[in-house]
């Protein structure tokens, strides 16, 4: 796994926190110092926590499970969508739909509705309806795609959630915690790191800072997916070798039996074809 370099974090401005008066006391273990009224994040802790989060995400991706990325703030949405799309993982970069995790069945209905509208628009009968109705259907489809297009392939609840700025995405964090879904997040000095399972102390406002942390997570996911593919490709070969080995063992046993001349013993007197003796009559004899 490629580790994040301390100098890269420093150059990206990951160490810049919020104003001292806005800090959350529970972030004290991750704060290095205070300078000009601004808290400075300890980048050694950032490197350590980033590696922990990346290792955990790698294992989740290797097991074939989905990781949901949530980043609706202006400076993060484009970065997350561009970096996460190649991995095939779902993401939310527009408004977080309330109840997306806790009321997942309703969200799935909306996704199915979007799919049905798409099929309708591709059908030849779509041109036969009025222009006004076509326009309404097109607008509804565009609205659904904007909010739910990135999670169209999410058929079940995600196995983990990665969040940029837990204060802005507090609803997503609360829903994930309620369902005991592991949460990963970039946490600035004004937030509570205890609200998530894997907190990465970092500046969650600067685009460069967001990019370098999300890139590290995406690299870990890609490594997990690559290892999963490698294991899948090698597993069938191992199974075939095992089957061939079993077949050879069976044929060897048959040959040994033939060489030894094992024959079935002849039937005894009074035995039927199955090798069993006929039942005795159960009728009792009468006494004279």
Sheet containing 91-92: order of strands: 91-92, 67-70, 160-164, 183-187, 198-201
Structure token pair of residue 273: 């074809």
Q: Note down the domain range covering 170.
A: 6-98+157-231
Structure token pair of residue 222: 């890609």
**CA 94, 99, 105 angle in degrees (round to 5)?**
105
Show Cβ contacts of residue 99 under 8 Å, excluding neighbours closer than 6 positions. Answer: 106, 107, 175
Where residue 144 sits, what CATH number does that domain have? Answer: 1.10.287
One pLDDT digit (tens) per residue for the chain, 288 residues: 556 888 899 999 999 998 888 899 999 999 998 888 899 999 999 999 999 999 999 999 999 999 999 999 999 999 999 999 999 999 999 889 888 999 999 888 888 888 888 888 888 888 888 888 888 888 888 888 887 878 888 889 999 999 999 999 999 999 999 999 999 999 999 999 999 999 999 999 999 999 999 999 999 999 999 999 888 888 755 444 544 555 444 445 455 554 444 444 445 545 555 555 555 544 444 443
Q: What pLDDT was estimated at residue 258?
A: 47
Domain count, the chain: 2
Residue 241 lies in a domain: no
Show Cβ contacts of residue 43 under 8 Å, excluding neighbours closer than 6 positions. Answer: 6, 9, 10, 14, 15, 32
Is 163 found in the same domain as 78? yes
Show Cβ contacts of residue 104 under 8 Å, excluding neighbours closer than 6 positions. Answer: 156, 157
Is 200 found in the same domain as 139? no
Please tell me the distance from the alpha carbon of residue 184 to that of residue 97, in angstroms, as a whole number: 19
Is 116 found in the same domain as 150? yes
- Cα-Cα-Cα-Cα dihedral sign, residues 148, 152, 158, 162: negative
Quick check: 58 and 224 in contact, CB under 8 A?
Answer: yes
DSSP lists the bridge partners of residue 31 as 41
Is 106 found in the same domain as 92? no
Is 113 found in the same domain as 227? no
CA distance to 247, 251, 252, 259, 260, per residue, from 256 (Å): 14, 9, 6, 5, 6
Is 173 found in the same domain as 129? no
Is 90 found in the same domain as 171? yes
**CA 217, 218, 222 angle in degrees (round to 5)?**
120
Is 22 found in the same domain as 124? no
Residue 67 lies in a domain: yes
DSSP lists the bridge partners of residue 163 as 70, 185
Is 115 found in the same domain as 166? no
Q: What pLDDT was estimated at residue 120?
A: 84
Please tell me the distance from the alpha carbon of residue 224 to that of residue 121, in angstroms, as a whole number: 38
Please tell me the distance from the alpha carbon of residue 197 to that of residue 176, in angstroms, as a whole number: 11
Reference 226, options 82, 64, 67, 91; nearest CA is 64
Is 171 found in the same domain as 72? yes
Cβ count near 5 (within 10 Å): 11
Of 213, 231, 249, which residue sits at a domain end?
231
To which H or E segment does residue 35 belong?
strand 31-35
């Amino acid at each position: 796994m490629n580790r994040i370099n301390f100098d890269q974090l420093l150059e990206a401005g990951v160490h810049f926190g919020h104003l001292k008066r806005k800090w959350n006391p529970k972030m004290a273990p991750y704060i290095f110092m205070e300078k000009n009224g601004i808290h400075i994040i300890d980048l050694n802790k950032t490197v350590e926590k980033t590696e922990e989060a990346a290792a955990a995400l790698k294992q989740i991706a290797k097991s074939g499970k989905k990781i949901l990325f949530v980043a609706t703030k202006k400076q993060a949405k484009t970065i997350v969508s561009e970096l996460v799309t190649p991995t095939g993982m779902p993401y939310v970069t527009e408004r977080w739909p309330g109840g997306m995790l806790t009321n997942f069945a309703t969200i799935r209905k909306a996704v199915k509705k979007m799919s049905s509208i798409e099929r309708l628009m591709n059908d030849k009968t779509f041109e036969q309806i009025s222009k006004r109705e076509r326009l309404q259907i097109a607008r509804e489809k565009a609205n659904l795609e904007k909010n739910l297009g990135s999670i169209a392939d999410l058929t079940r609840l995600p196995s983990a959630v990665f969040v940029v700025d837990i204060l802005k995405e507090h609803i997503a964090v609360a829903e994930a915690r309620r369902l005991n879904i592991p949460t990963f997040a970039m946490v600035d000095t004004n937030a509570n790191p205890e609200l998530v399972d894997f907190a990465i102390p970092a500046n969650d406002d600067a685009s460069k800072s967001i990019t370098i942390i999300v890139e590290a997570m995406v690299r870990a996911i890609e490594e997990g997916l690559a290892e999963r593919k490698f294991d899948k490709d090698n597993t069938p070969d191992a199974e075939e070798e095992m089957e061939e080995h079993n077949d050879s063992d069976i044929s060897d046993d048959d040959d040994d039996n033939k060489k030894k001349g094992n024959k079935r013993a002849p039937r005894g007197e009074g035995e039927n074809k199955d090798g069993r003796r006929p039942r005795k009559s159960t009728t009792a004899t009468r006494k004279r």
